[in-house]
Chains A and B, each alone.
Chain A
Amino acid sequence: MLLEVSDLSVSYGEREIVRNVNVSLDEGEVLAIVGESGSGKTTVIRAILGCLPHEGRVSGGKILFEGKNLLEKTPEEWRGLCGTKATMVFQDSGSILDPIARIGSQFIEYIREHSPLTKKEAAKAAEDMLRKMHLPNQENIMKSYPFELSGGMRQRVGVAMAMFFKPRLLLADEPTSALDVTTQAQVVKEMMEICEQDKTAIIIVTHNIGVAAYMSDKLIVMQAGEIVESGRTNEIIARPQSVYTKELLDAVPQVGGKSYVS
């Protein structure tokens, strides 16, 4: 078992936002968390990576990563983990990049922070990683500022950076929500390809049920801070048990579905 979260509760100040969440994940498995905004999906994965906002704290439960409880780790131990063994892709990678530094210098800085590579080696490795993501003109991207790239490109750079150290666990928070369908398909496919190569486990938080169904082996449906349903993705999609899951699946528009106007 790569990751085991048991009875996790997270509070913001006095209010308990997430209650009794249990998640287990094997190596190379993909788990999707779906639910409405405010249901606590993002809070769960932020708690796992220890990056809750200031007022947030884990108020109960255990998070075991490779058999060790993350909640007992010292800040130094966290630093050795985040960015290499467990990484995160955000909704808009543009906002995690420094707007006034070139992509290349940020990528190199990130690599050298976590490894003994020289500047030259790091630059080469970064370019190779971008090539692995099927990004065109790698040298050009390395020389660009974040605002010079389109949203889709920035997101793919974000995924490339997150996947650089072949992490055991990739946490993705709405990685394709800000993208067009065509770009979304591209990012999803590239993410899956690289994770399969490196045997990386993924937890993806999304409100796009189609993406969740395509990517994941396991599915968790959350509502108001609690898990309402969890299990194998294809079973839940085919035979949803809870009322909420049924409503959620029913509300997703589909090409060729029932027309409202005719």
Chain B
Amino acid sequence: MSADKETILTIEHIVKRFPVADGCMLTACDDVSLSLYQGETLGIVGESGCGKSTLVKLIMQLHAPTSGAICYRGEDLTRLTGERMRQSRRHIQMVFQDPSQAFNPKMKIKDILCEPLRNFKLIKDRDAGKKAEELLRMVELPEEFADRYPGNMSGGQRQRIGIARALALEPEILVCDEATSALDVSVQKKIIELLVRIQREKNLSMIFICHDLALVSQISHRIAVMYLGNIVEVLAGDVLNEAKHPYTKALLQAVFPVKKKEGTVVRPLEGEIPSPLDLSPGCPFQSRCPESMELCRREKPVIEELWPGHSAACHLLKPQSGKNGI
């Protein structure tokens, strides 16, 4: 399906470990590989503490990975330094979760919007007002907002400013870390519609981190499910209901549907996410998996393609064409 599309970003075997007190290592991302295609939305879901945000910070080069590579159009971002690294940031921009904390309260909206352009010397001071108005129009806000401060705006309006600022440099990749989680559902819907419209117009690639499975399934072309620093399943957004990995299935069963359908049972996933400090060998999900086997405790499953466009890391699931050619 997406094979004919151009790959814009590849994450290759990224590992990130943080040192913690008493010499332990915390593994936040464990051998994560993903690719992002031009014009596509890649959703990343998982419980808190599964490494979603660490992955984003690695992509944004806010953390250096322990090992592995992140290639933007063939160039490994993790090896860049100095001015070349700074210039590379123009291509990947971010929208943050909490719009009330993402701005300097003492800066006017027009200065907030033009700051990224000023950083790269792409704008003259006398053009700033005009550019700000153009950006405001793009996110469907009135032009008068240019002279306001972020303090006297609603959450939804502020998130629009966040999107406008992220798009000021015309990046190719937009990373949204829980960009709508702090908003009401009706405001969330409008922000999503805006993002989808801008994506179509600019052929933008998006990485959308979210813990709301329903929302992710509705806006993503592909979804990656993370658990304890591992990608456990990658599948198309519109077939999330047909997920195969036990963890994804457990997540889906924990969602309360608005309209009850016959035969839907809400079943919580027992137990807690294990500590990322002392990872046991074998499958990361073994301690909570209802179908865990002896093999799962010994050997960690690798992520394999079940069929085109759907991969999972689970011993229960084997690719349809057997390896020994049966």
A interface vs B, CB < 8 Å?
A: 36-37, 150-153, 180-186, 188-189, 207-211, 213-214, 234, 237-238, 247-262
Contact = CB atoms under 8 A, between A and B. Distances in A.
**Residue in B196, B213, B241, B258 with the greatest tally of chain A CB atoms within 10 Å:** B258
Interface of B: 41, 47-48, 155, 184-189, 192-193, 196, 199, 211-215, 217-221, 237-238, 240-241, 250-260, 266-270, 272
Contacts of B253: 185
A250 B269 CA distance: 28
27 contacts: A152-B272, A180-B47, A181-B251, A181-B255, A184-B256, A185-B254, A185-B267, A186-B269, A207-B185, A210-B257, A214-B256, A214-B266, A234-B260, A237-B259, A248-B186, A251-B185, A251-B186, A252-B214, A253-B185, A253-B218, A254-B214, A255-B214, A255-B257, A259-B219, A261-B196, A261-B219, A261-B237
A182 B237 contact: no
A254 B254 CA distance: 13
B185 A182 contact: no
A180 to B, nearest CB: 4
B270 to A, nearest CB: 8
B260 A213 contact: yes
Contacts of B237: 259, 261-262
A249 B185 CA distance: 9
Given A254-B214, A259-B219, A261-B219, 18 more contacts: A153-B272, A181-B47, A181-B251, A185-B256, A186-B270, A189-B266, A237-B258, A249-B258, A253-B218, A254-B257, A255-B213, A255-B240, A255-B252, A256-B240, A256-B241, A259-B237, A261-B221, A261-B237
A74 to B, nearest CB: 39
B266 A185 contact: yes
Contacts of A189: 266, 268
B24 to A, nearest CB: 16
Contacts of B185: 207, 209, 248, 251-253
Contact of B258 (A152, A209, A247, A258): A209
Nearest to A214: B256
A261 B214 contact: no
Nearest to A181: B254
A262 to B, nearest CB: 6
A251 B188 contact: yes
Contacts of B259: 213, 237-238
Nearest to B180: A253
B258 A254 contact: yes
Nearest to B154: A38
A249 B196 CA distance: 21
B272 A150 contact: yes
